[in-house]
């Protein structure tokens, strides 16, 4: 976590100028911040801020990011992390305010098909399969999909297909779209003796882990119709051939419905869809209905 002075952000103080300033401090390439990087007004937000939004409340003690217990969050592409400058910031960590709150964790237990296995984040010498994640390390939007990504990163298991259960009794499977109220007093895995369960199902196959966009049909001409996503339509695509969906985003399409393959490891589905362009000019598929 990091803090900056609002006066150091160039006017007009919009989401775009704030992202560029953060990128400079953190050593990320600012040229990609306009499109590739997503800024959330808090860790609990489900939709990123619009690029042109004015941060008129940046001053004072009520604006976004004004509280150390509810910071803003910048989501970046993995490719940007790989290119990150090593000489990012000259800030002395000792000058940062001391963190006053006790850490909040998501506790989880790791299994494969044969039983429990040691967790990479184990903290108990007599219970090695029990791990935990600081809730602040889980990226927004706070749902099972973002938790899954953070778990796989922490366990160094990005090649694994996993199921996540609400508790280690294994009766309720958690779906990727399920919200996680990590800032509340009750969420799955909040108690050490009631962890969620992470079960490895096996390694991803090449066909499901790396679907090829080149197999897509060429988009037809005449993208004159618009599709605007309504509340409840948020979706993080597991397949790069399909657009991520964010409430309020507008796509350009010709309105022709087709059926295409959607890779959702470990399964493959046939879904009705449109070929569409997003605001960044990317051409991909959008789920219909």
- The pLDDT tens digits of the residues spanning 134-157 come to 998 898 888 999 999 999 999 999
Q: Are strands 225-228 and 250-253 parallel, antiparallel or unpaired?
A: antiparallel
Q: Which of 160, 248, 142 is nearest to 204 (CA)?
A: 160
Judge if pTM exceeds 0.75.
no
Instruction: Mark whether 184 and 244 lie in a shared domain.
Output: no
| Look-up of token digits 């969620």 | 196
Q: Of 41-50, 217-226, 232-241, which one has max mean pLDDT?
A: 41-50
Tens of pLDDT along 254-276? 777 777 777 766 667 777 887 88
Environment class of 169 (CB within 10 Å of its CB; exposed 0-12, middle 13-18, buried 19+): exposed
Q: How far apart are CA 243 and CA 275, in angstroms?
A: 10
Predicted pLDDT at 218 = 44
Q: What is the mean pLDDT of residues 73-85?
A: 72
Confidence at residue 214, expressed as pLDDT on a 0 to 100 scale: 36
Instruction: Decide which of 95, 120, 153 is a domain's last residue.
Output: 95
CB crowding 201-215: b at 16 or more within 10 Å, else e: eeeeeeebeebeeee
Boundary-marking domain end, from 178, 203, 228: 203
Picking from 50, 77, 95, the residue at the C-terminal end of a domain is: 95
Listed range (65-79, 176-190, 217-231) with the worst mean pLDDT: 217-231
On whether residue 84 sits in a domain, the answer given is: yes
Looking at residue 117, its pLDDT comes to: 94
What is the Cα Rg of the chain in Å?
A: 21
- For residue 24, give its domain range: 6-95
Return mean pLDDT, the chain: 77
Is residue 100 domain-resident? no
- DSSP for 100-122 reads -SPP-EEEEEEEETTEE---TT-
Is residue 238 within 8 A of residue 146, CB to CB? The reply is no
Q: For residue 133, is pLDDT > 80? A: yes
Query: Is the pLDDT assigned to residue 171 strictly greater than 50?
Result: yes
Burial-class residue 174 by CB neighbours within 10 Å (0-12, 13-18, 19+).
buried
The structure tokens 């499109």 sit at 35
Mean pLDDT in residue range 228-237: 71
């Amino acid at each position: 976590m990091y803090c900056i002075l609002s006066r150091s952000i160039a006017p007009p103080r919009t989401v775009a100028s704030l992202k560029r300033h953060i990128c400079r401090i953190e050593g990320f390439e600012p040229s990609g911040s306009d499109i590739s990087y997503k800024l959330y007004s808090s860790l609990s937000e489900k939709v990123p801020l619009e690029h042109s939004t004015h941060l008129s409340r940046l001053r004072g003690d009520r604006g976004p990011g004004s509280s150390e217990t509810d910071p803003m969050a910048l989501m970046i592409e993995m490719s940007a992390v790989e290119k990150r400058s090593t000489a990012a910031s000259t800030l002395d960590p000792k000058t940062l305010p001391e963190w006053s709150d006790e850490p909040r964790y998501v506790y989880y237990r790791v299994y494969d098909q044969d039983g429990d296995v040691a967790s990479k984040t184990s903290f108990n010498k007599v219970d090695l399969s029990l791990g935990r994640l600081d809730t602040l390390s889980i990226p927004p939007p706070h749902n099972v999909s973002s938790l899954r990504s953070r778990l796989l990163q922490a366990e160094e298991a990005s090649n694994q297909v996993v199921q996540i259960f609400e508790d280690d009794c294994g009766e309720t499977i958690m779906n990727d779209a399920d919200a996680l109220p990590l800032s509340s007093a009750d969420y799955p895995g909040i108690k050490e003796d009631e962890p969620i369960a992470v079960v490895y199902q096996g390694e991803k196959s090449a066909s499901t882990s790396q679907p090829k966009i080149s197999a897509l049909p060429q988009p037809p001409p005449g993208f004159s119709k618009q599709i605007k996503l309504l509340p409840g339509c948020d979706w993080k695509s597991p397949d790069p051939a399909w657009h991520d969906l964010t409430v309020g985003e507008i796509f350009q399409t010709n309105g022709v419905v087709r059926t295409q393959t959607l890779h959702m490891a470990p399964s493959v589905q046939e879904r009705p869809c449109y070929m569409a362009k997003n605001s960044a000019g990317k051409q991909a598929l959008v789920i219909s209905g």
